[in-house]
Amino acid sequence: MWDFCQKPTESACLFITALLLVGLISTKFHVTDAAAIWLPATATFYGGPNGSGTMGKWLWIKTAALSTALFNDGASCGGCYQIVCDAQKAPQWCQEAKYITATNFCPPNYALPSDDSGWCNPNRQHFDMSKPEFETIAIYRAGIVPILYMKVRCRSCGIRFTVNGRDYFELVLVSNVGGTRDISMVWIKGSKTNKWETMSRNWGANWQSFNYLNGQSLSFRVQVSNGRIRTALNVVPSNWQFGQSFKSNVQF
């Protein structure tokens, strides 16, 4: 499994959309083994053999993109899933694989039918993966394969906050959020203002604030869809700079 606690080697993309754990199992898997929790979907690939053309640089090119139905207007951002190649339906294509991560959005293409290349149209549950990672679940010549997926708990290490933006505009990426719930609200507090301010969702997993918080240590409060709240006090030191990422010691 990849270590989400590790600091990214590059600044996170401003419009990162989801953190996704993808676990694949062998071709011996059968749909009936977990019919109550696994949901059907499909998977394809995009980009080059080295992950070019994807947002993979943020998380070591191990990426996948969520279709509109899975992305859920950004509510799924920061959540984790597990997928398996459905060898019962496509035994000639499925392969064994390992845990990977993914972070991207697959936009719909209304010019194409949903059953012929319009894989990410709103009515489809679909994962569009980088080519290297698609090849860990299936032979690339398949083009598209049936899979099964379910939402799972993320790693147990702390929630991560990446601060982007500029003066009077803090754009904070909230990632590695544990549990199976979606983020519903985020608050921010500067050490000098000492007041919790409600942030608004900018896009995906990015939450924004229009305050001048430079030179202050920053605290965050995160609420998920079941109402549970976690508070990360002074997780960002006062000498922070835009583009830096900070790991907290709190988790759901």
Domain 20-152, CATH among 2.40.50.100, 1.10.10.10, 2.40.40.10, 3.90.1150.10: 2.40.40.10
Would you state the pLDDT for residue 133? 83
Residue 230's closest CA among 191, 174, 190, 192? 174
Contacts of 79 (CB under 8 A, 6+ apart): 18, 19, 20, 151, 154, 177, 180, 181, 182
**DSSP for residue 9:** S
Residue 147's closest CA among 75, 44, 235? 44
Would you state the pLDDT for residue 132? 84
Pairing of strands 80-85, 64-66: unpaired
Q: Where in the chain is the domain with CATH 2.40.40.10?
A: 20-152
Token couple for 221? 């409060």
Would you state the pLDDT for residue 4? 40
Q: Where in the chain is the domain with CATH 2.60.40.760?
A: 160-247
Longest dimension (CA), the chain: 61
Sequential pLDDT tens for the chain (252 residues):
333 444 433 333 223 333 344 444 333 344 444 444 889 999 998 875 544 444 444 444 456 778 888 887 766 666 677 778 999 999 999 986 554 554 567 888 899 998 888 888 988 999 888 888 888 889 989 999 999 888 777 665 789 999 999 999 999 998 878 776 778 999 999 999 889 999 999 977 789 999 999 999 999 999 988 899 999 999 999 999 999 999 999 998
Would you state the pLDDT for residue 26? 36
Which top CATH class is 160-247? mainly beta
Alpha carbon distances (Å) from 175 to 7, 110, 207, 233, 243: 12, 30, 11, 16, 14
The C-alpha atoms of residue 116 and residue 8 are separated, in whole angstroms, by: 36
